[in-house]
Copies of this chain bind each other. A is one copy, B any other.
Amino acid sequence: MSEALAKKAAALDAADGLARHRELFALDDGVVYLDGNSLGALPRHVPARMQDVIAREWGQLRIRSWEESGWWTAPERIGDRIAPLVGAAPGTVVVGDSTSVNVFKALVAAVRLAGDDRDEILVDATTFPTDGYVAESAARMTGRRIRALAPDEMVSALGPRTAAVLVNHVDYRTGRLNDLPVMTAAIQAAGALAVWDLCHSAGALPVGLGAHGVDFAVGCTYKYLNGGPGSPAYLYVRGDHQPRFDTPLPGWNSHEDPFGMRPAYVPGDGAVRGRVGTPDILSMLALESALDVWDGVAIEAVRAKSLALTDFFLECVEAYVPAGRVSSVTPVAHAERGSQVSLSCAEAGEVMRTLTARGVVGDFRRPDVLRFGFTPLYVGFADAERAATELAALVG
């Protein structure tokens, strides 16, 4: 470590308008948690809320809670809590199921909207693999074919056969931020529909789904949104697409009259059309409670701090780690960077195990990537400096 960088960290922390948010989370001062892009930390107030949900809402009110405790409307209500964080209008986001299941809904609905003469789905070849696997199934079941391309090859591959494009806003491995406004405009100019996966961007940077006219989006809630392990994912359907949103999973929760128990399926209006079966209330209400930490937080301030944190971490790594031991695979340009820094490194698996044992928790992605996620609501500049110090001690 260097005296100068430690002092710089202290100054940056002192000037950080989001620094007080760290108190809202259950964190151990001895640990630098840089894995919030895998599992967000626990907001301190969630256990008490969940005790109430379990002991009173389930235990005492039982079946009455579907109405009296607002369980039935939770998927849309929580969707409306997430909407402003991703720049979506009220009534366009619904919470439920996993990201994989939502990719299936969105992609099948997108190709159906695109029409039968468009038979190609472009998929981000660098994607988190589940999106690619599920896209293959969506293509197989709708009579389309898949082309896997790097995001920067996609725009030139668009054509009259393109039905839909599935792409990640931020690449899970490298942390590269793809240009959502430009790609969405190009996809739509070609007559296709844009389906964005926001898992690694929502809660870390402005997304602007509405402003950029995105057709569909999906994302998880257990990373930067801190919803808890495996908390339910969400689906965004642009308002004007909703009346023609033709889901492959028409469960009873999406019916216009669910308790009518009618034999014919008639979808409801709005975001509810993205629902499927009975929502997993405990996971869902933990997420709802966790979202309280966003009260009064501007996502632009989060983005500014995120970039400052990753810049500073890279500066510390550059200063502390001898040349050649690690190299960043995360883009330098702010416009191309999410909220993580990925360093390729020899013996990365072993390095990350040791770092974790020393209290710097990131994760390892095969074959050689050390991944450090910076959650602006609870990671500070001194944390970044300490992480670089420990890394240098290990690989220096």
Question: A50-87 vs B: 1/0 string, CB under 8 Å?
Answer: 11001101111011011000010000000000000000
- Cβ of A62 to closest chain B Cβ, rounded Å: 6
Bound: A142/B284 CA distance, A: 32
Contact of A142 among B46, B141, B148 (CB under 8 A): B141
Q: Is the CB–CB distance between A129 and B230 below 8 Å?
A: no
Interface status of A42 (Cβ within 8 A of chain B): yes
Contact of A129 among B41, B148, B261 (CB under 8 A): B261
Stretch at the interface among A16-24, A272-280, A339-347: A272-280
Find A283's partner among B41, B128, B281 (CB 8 Å cutoff). B281
**Binary contact track A248-280/B, C-beta < 8 Å → 1, others 0:** 111111010001111101000000000011111
> What number of copies of this chain does the assembly contain?
2
Which residues of chain B are within 8 angstroms of A203 by Cβ–Cβ distance? none
Say yes or no for A389: interface residue by CB 8 A criterion.
no
Q: How far is the CB of A19 from chain B (nearest CB, A)?
A: 21
Q: Assess whether A234 is interfacial by the CB under 8 Å rule.
A: no
Whole-angstrom distance from the CB of A23 to the nearest CB of chain B? 14
A276-317 vs B, Cβ < 8 Å mask (1 yes, 0 no): 111111111010000000000000000000000000000000
Beta-carbon nearest neighbor of A361 in chain B: B63
User: A222 contacts which chain B residues (CB < 8 A)?
Assistant: 278
Chain A contacts with B in 97-141, Cβ cutoff 8 A:
97-101, 104, 108, 125, 128-130, 132-134, 136-137, 141
Contact A97-B99, Cβ < 8 Å, known A71-B229, A148-B263, A361-B62: no
Pick the contact of A262 from B46, B129, B250, B282 — CB < 8 Å?
Answer: B129
A35 within 8 A of B: yes
* B250 pairs with A134, CB closer than 8 A: yes
Task: Considering the complex, give the chain B residue whose CB is closest to the CB of A50.
Answer: B54
Q: Which residues of chain B come closer than 8 Å to A137, judged between CB atoms?
A: 247-250
A97: which of B33, B101, B286 is its contact (CB, 8 Å)?
A: B101
User: Could you list 17 examples of A-B contacts with CB < 8 Å?
Assistant: A26-B60, A28-B60, A50-B282, A54-B286, A97-B101, A97-B277, A100-B252, A101-B249, A101-B277, A129-B252, A129-B265, A133-B252, A137-B247, A148-B263, A220-B278, A280-B280, A280-B283
Footprint of B on A, CB under 8 Å?
Answer: 26, 28, 33, 35, 38-39, 41-42, 46-47, 50-51, 54-55, 57-60, 62-63, 65-66, 71, 97-101, 104, 108, 125, 128-130, 132-134, 136-137, 141-142, 148, 173, 220, 222, 228-233, 247-253, 255, 259-263, 265, 276-284, 286, 361, 363, 365-366
List 16 additional contacts besides A173-B261, A259-B366; criterion CB under 8 Å. Answer: A28-B60, A41-B62, A47-B54, A50-B51, A54-B286, A71-B230, A97-B277, A99-B277, A129-B252, A130-B252, A134-B249, A134-B250, A137-B249, A137-B250, A141-B248, A230-B280
